[in-house]
């Protein structure tokens, strides 16, 4: 799964990367947690242009009675998203890009769970494959939300966890955001694990364990001396 991630690059870098103006919520984030607000990228109307949207992490389907379901839908398994009631409609018409520059996974060690920050060595920003929804409360408040697709890990993430968020190659962003319904085979291809050749997993400060901490110390490297335990299944 993906339970925390980062986006520390500048607004100008994001504007250039996603070919948009400066996004909302551009303060560097070192420990983004579920239910918090984060900028996502989606297709603008029926055209080919893109736009930013500030959205809540944790998908809230339009049929939900309240927001609480979102905390349980922060991730969608790519293998089952096409058929799960919570995700299948969003897969067809509400796909989005979730900007990030790294994500955290935890590995069992003899001294407890050790967080690792998994990222590109050059610290470039990238995009997770995401799905989004709009939900309206009984008081007519509209809440936009998103989930991050997860799948099989690449060679770097697999040393830490049995799953990882799906990272999309920039060359397929246009296709992912299009209004076209993706055949199952193509959906599986787009969400397959990216190469880990340019990535690294760095053991970091356990301050990141608390969502109350969101500052550069969350990414401070720590020595790796503990023996690993069993990899988590979730």
Q: Which among 2, 96, 166, 218 is annotated as catalytic?
A: 2
CA 49, 51, 56 angle in degrees (round to 5)? 145
Per the annotation, the verdict on 105 as an active-site residue is yes
Q: What is the C-alpha separation between 125 and 113, in angstroms, rounded?
A: 26
Look-up of token digits 């099989």: 152
Per the annotation, the verdict on 218 as an active-site residue is no
Q: What share of the chain is helix, strand, coil (3-state, %, to 5)?
A: 20, 35, 45
Residue closest to 102 by CA, chosen among 209, 205, 199, 208 = 199
8 A C-beta contact, residue 152 and residue 193 = yes
Residue closest to 154 by CA, chosen among 96, 198, 106 = 198
Q: Which among 105, 133, 166, 218 is annotated as catalytic?
A: 105
Q: What is the C-alpha separation between 184 and 45, in angstroms, rounded?
A: 24
Residue closest to 138 by CA, chosen among 48, 55, 210, 66 = 66
8 A C-beta contact, residue 85 and residue 173 = no
Q: What is the C-alpha separation between 119 and 202, in angstroms, rounded?
A: 8
Q: What is the C-alpha separation between 135 and 139, in angstroms, rounded?
A: 11
State the catalytic residues: 2, 105
């Amino acid at each position: 799964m993906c339970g925390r991630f980062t986006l520390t690059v500048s607004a100008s870098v994001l504007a250039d990367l996603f070919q948009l103006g400066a996004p909302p919520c551009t303060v560097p984030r070192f420990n983004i947690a579920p239910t918090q607000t984060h900028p996502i990228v989606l297709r603008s109307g029926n055209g080919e242009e893109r736009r930013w949207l500030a959205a809540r992490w944790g998908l809230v389907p339009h049929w939900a009675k309240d927001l609480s379901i979102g905390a349980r839908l922060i991730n969608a398994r790519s293998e089952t998203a096409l058929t799960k009631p919570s995700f299948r409609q969003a897969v067809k018409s509400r796909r989005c890009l979730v900007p990030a520059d790294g994500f955290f996974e935890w590995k069992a060690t003899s001294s407890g769970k050790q967080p690792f920050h998994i990222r590109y060595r050059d610290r470039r920003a990238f995009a997770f494959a995401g799905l989004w929804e709009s939900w309206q409360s009984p008081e007519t408040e509209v809440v936009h939300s998103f989930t991050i697709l997860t799948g099989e890990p690449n060679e770097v993430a697999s040393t830490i966890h049995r799953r990882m968020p799906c990272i999309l190659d920039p060359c397929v962003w246009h296709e992912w955001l299009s209004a076209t319904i993706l055949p199952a085979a193509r959906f599986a291809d787009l969400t397959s694990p990216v190469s880990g050749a340019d990535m690294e997993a760095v053991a970091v400060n356990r301050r990141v364990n608390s969502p109350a901490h969101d500052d550069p110390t969350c990414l401070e490297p720590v020595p790796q001396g503990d023996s690993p335990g069993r990899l988590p299944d979730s």
